[in-house]
Amino acid sequence: MQVNHLLEVNSIAGKFVAQLRDTEIQKDRMRFRRNIERLGEILGYELSKKLKFSEKKIITPLGHAKVQLPDNEIVVCSILRAGLPLHNGLLNYFDDAENSFISAYRHHPDNNENFEIIVEYLASPSLEGKTLILADPMLATGGSFVNVMKALKQMGEPKEIHLVAVIGAEEGIVHLKEEFPEDTTLWIATIDKELDSRGYILPGLGDAGDLCYGGKLQH
């Protein structure tokens, strides 16, 4: 799996990541969602450079122009609920893409730190022969990406798979490399080194879903 780490090179994206982490700025949910959306736009732009393009001729008011336009049939799939603003950012750039939505959450059956990833809801077009962009802001253990991809198999075999995340842990990336095809590409803004005993990214930013949309009752 190829890993494209956005903040290996300094850019304005680092400002948006910093604001996502900042406990004071996090109090503004709208700003938190918008920063995830903006990072989705930046990651989508970088991803677009790897798509297949072909020359097209368009009519302008004064003549004709030859342009390079992407040929890929794209499906953007977000993992609910934290994936929604990231999905919107990607969709701002891939505005003619098809859309897929799937739920995944941590279930603690014994009310302790051990958990399993539960997938319950799926709405998706066919993925057969298409370019799948699978988006989730937080890549902790990698379990959500892996379990969601297993659930998506019933929708067909995509031609290529791109994973998009805002913050990830090295351990989760290792897990993805073990589970996904070698030609999968991960696009991620920043990578932290470790997880805590509960499987949360350190230093991370907390629970992205709660910060986007408010707290929830635990399952």
The pLDDT tens digits for 96-150 are: 999 999 987 655 555 555 556 677 889 999 999 999 999 999 999 998 899 899 9
Give the DSSP letter string of 76-123.
EEEEETTHHHHHHHHHHHSTT-EEEEEE-EEE-TTSSS--EEE---EE
Q: Where are the domains of the chain?
A: 2-213
Quickly state the pLDDT bin for 197 (edges 50, 70, 90): confident
If one counts every other C-beta atom within 10 angstroms of the C-beta of residue 34, the result is 16
Cα gap 32→181, rounded to integer Å? 32
Give the dihedral sign, CA 168/70/91/65: positive
195 contacts 201 by C-beta, under 8 angstroms: yes
Q: Which region, left, alpha or beta, applies to residue 129 given φ > 0 means left and ψ of -120 to 50 means alpha? A: left
* Residue 166: its H or E element: strand 160-169
Which of 195, 204, 188, 163 lies closest to 76 in space, CA to CA? 163
CATH class of 2-213: alpha beta
Task: Note the pTM of the prediction, 2 decimals.
Answer: 0.91
Can you tell me which residue has the tokens 């969601």? 148
Characterize 20-30 residue by residue with b for buried, 16 or more Cβ atoms within 10 angstroms of its Cβ, and e for exposed.
bbeeeebeeee
| Confidence check: pLDDT of 216 > 90 | no
pLDDT attached to residue 105: 65
Spatial distance between the Cα atoms of 69 and 53, rounded to a whole number of angstroms: 5
